């Protein structure tokens, strides 16, 4: 099997991050780690699609403001979202005069963006890159499942798409957190068909990527202070523990899942936890980044997970192929 893991030659550093989330995410356990939150998840727009475009636009503008950089200082944006034709970032990027690469690995897109952004920096063809993704509960719900107006009851294994957007500014000069290495995922399909049980569809992809990463690096899970999958949810992350155990690898207390960490409230309301391209994004750019900056976390393995279905493939009775990428972030001891 081909080695899927690449180690970056240069110091690829997180210069800064920005996050914006909806009301439910703000009320959750990670709420204090997010930069901005919105009270009205329609943001005064006429549709939820426009609201998500505004979330995506706002988070990039906020990152530029925070870092006192101008659009001209940014070489490229690597962006994605969950809407058909990734219109959240397409329309957001209309507001910026920055070269644009649109990405789609479903909820794993943030991982793809960080990997490709880091490769671009490593190749020497760029100095500053923004990686951003967004999702919105109400755009995802009506695209993949049912119109909200139906008031459909949730199934026990369903998840709640995170309303929010996040952006990471990568560069080679400033920052304490480095992108050390990355394992690029393959498409894995174990035959799960239920679009309301995406944790089960994605857990095998997370296992495949994590095993490949551990083998390539010669590390055990305990090497990391924290291993975080993107949005397997509570049931899905328990399933990953079981699947890893099958292969003789025990995931300890240092393993968690961004989706499982996102919300408070009973399962009837939030299902198995958060999902969507914003889930792993805001958890990393909010919670993980701040914990690493303060020194509480030093080595973190982020594993964004994505279910590569569409409503068409689902309606045509197809199973759900999935993907997961793994990215190792390391806190540099020296102040740079």
Question: Which residues lie near a copy of itself (CB under 8 A)?
Answer: 1-2, 4, 6, 9, 46-47, 49-50, 71-76, 80, 83-87, 90-91, 93-94, 96-106, 112, 115-116, 119-120, 122-126, 143, 184-187, 189, 308-313, 316, 318, 321, 323
For 213-234, the three-class secondary structure string (H helix, E strand, C coil) is HHHHHCCCHHHCCEEEECCCHH
> Rounded to whole angstroms, how far apart are CA atoms 260 and 240?
13
Q: How many CB atoms lie within 10 A of CB 228?
A: 24
Closest distance to a copy of itself from the beta carbon of 31 (Å): 30
Nearer to a copy of itself, 71 or 238 (CB): 71
Whole-number minimum distance, CB 94 to a copy of itself, in Å? Answer: 5
| Closer residue to a copy of itself, CB minimum distance, 107 or 297 | 107
Beta strand pairing status for 274-275 and 76-81? unpaired
Burial 14-33 (b: 16+ CB within 10 A, else e): bbbbbbbbbebbbebebbeb
- For residue 144, the surrounding DSSP H or E stretch is helix 137-144
Q: How far is the CB of 232 from a copy of itself (least distance, A)?
A: 19
Smallest gap, in angstroms, from Cβ of residue 65 to a copy of itself?
Answer: 18
DSSP annotation of 286 reads I
Phi, psi of 91 (to 5 degrees): -75, -30
Contact 315, 328 (CB under 8 A): no
Query: What is the distance, to the nearest Å, from the Cα of residue 27 to the centroid of all Cα atoms in its chain?
Result: 19
Assess contact for 143 and 82: CB atoms under 8 A.
yes
Nearer Cβ to a copy of itself (10/222): 10
Residue 225 Cβ, how far from a copy of itself at the closest point, in Å? 26
Q: How far is the CB of 276 from a copy of itself (least distance, A)?
A: 13
Pairwise CA distance, residues 275 & 256, whole Å: 14
CB 193 within 8 A of CB 318: yes
Which is closer to a copy of itself, CB of 189 or CB of 225? 189
- Taking the least distance from each CB to a copy of itself, the nearer of 104 and 223 is 104
Shortest distance, CB of residue 184 to a copy of itself, whole angstroms? 4
Nearer to a copy of itself, 28 or 117 (CB): 117
Q: Return the number of the residue (31 or 185) whose C-beta is nearest a copy of itself.
A: 185
Taking alpha carbons only, the member of 132, 109, 136 closest to residue 40 is: 136
3-state secondary structure of 124: coil
Indicate the residue among 101 and 330 with the shorter CB distance to a copy of itself. 101
* Minimum distance of a copy of itself from residue 193's CB (angstroms): 13
Whichever of 99 and 252 has its CB closer to a copy of itself, that residue is 99
Radius of gyration of the chain (CA): 18
- Nearest approach, Cβ of 92 to a copy of itself (angstroms)? 9
What are residue 16's DSSP bridge partners?
Answer: 169
């Amino acid at each position: 099997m081909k080695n899927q893991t690449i180690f970056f030659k240069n110091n690829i550093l997180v210069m800064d991050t920005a996050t914006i989330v909806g009301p439910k995410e703000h009320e959750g356990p990670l709420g204090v780690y997010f930069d901005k939150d919105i009270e009205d998840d329609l943001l005064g727009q006429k549709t939820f699609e426009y609201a998500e475009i505004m979330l995506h636009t706002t988070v990039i503008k906020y990152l530029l403001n925070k870092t006192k950089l101008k659009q001209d200082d940014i070489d490229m944006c690597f962006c994605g979202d969950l809407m058909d034709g990734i219109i959240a970032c397409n329309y957001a990027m209309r507001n910026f005069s920055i070269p644009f690469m649109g990405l789609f690995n479903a909820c794993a897109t943030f991982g793809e963006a960080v990997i490709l952004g880091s490769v671009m920096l490593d190749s020497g063809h760029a100095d500053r890159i923004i990686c951003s993704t967004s999702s919105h509960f109400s755009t995802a719900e009506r695209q993949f499942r049912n119109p909200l107006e139906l008031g459909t009851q949730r199934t026990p294994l369903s998840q709640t798409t995170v309303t929010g957007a996040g952006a990471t500014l990568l560069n080679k000069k400033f920052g304490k957190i480095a992108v050390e290495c990355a394992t690029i995922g393959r498409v894995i399909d174990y035959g799960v068909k239920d679009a309301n049980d995406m944790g089960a569809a994605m857990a095998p992809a997370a296992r495949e990527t994590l095993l490949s990463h551990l083998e390539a690096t010669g590390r055990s899970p305990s090497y990391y202070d924290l291993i975080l999958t993107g949005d397997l949810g509570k049931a899905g992350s328990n399933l990953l523990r079981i699947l890893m155990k099958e292969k003789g690898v025990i995931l300890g207390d240092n393993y968690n899942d961004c989706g499982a960490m996102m919300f408070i409230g009973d399962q009837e309301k939030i299902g198995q936890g958060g999902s969507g391209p914003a889930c792993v994004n805001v958890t990393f750019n909010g919670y993980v980044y701040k914990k690493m900056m303060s020194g509480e976390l030093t080595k973190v393995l982020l594993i964004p997970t994505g279910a590569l279905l569409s409503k068409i493939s689902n309606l045509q009775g197809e199973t759900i192929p999935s993907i997961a990428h793994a990215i190792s972030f390391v806190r540099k001891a020296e102040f740079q």
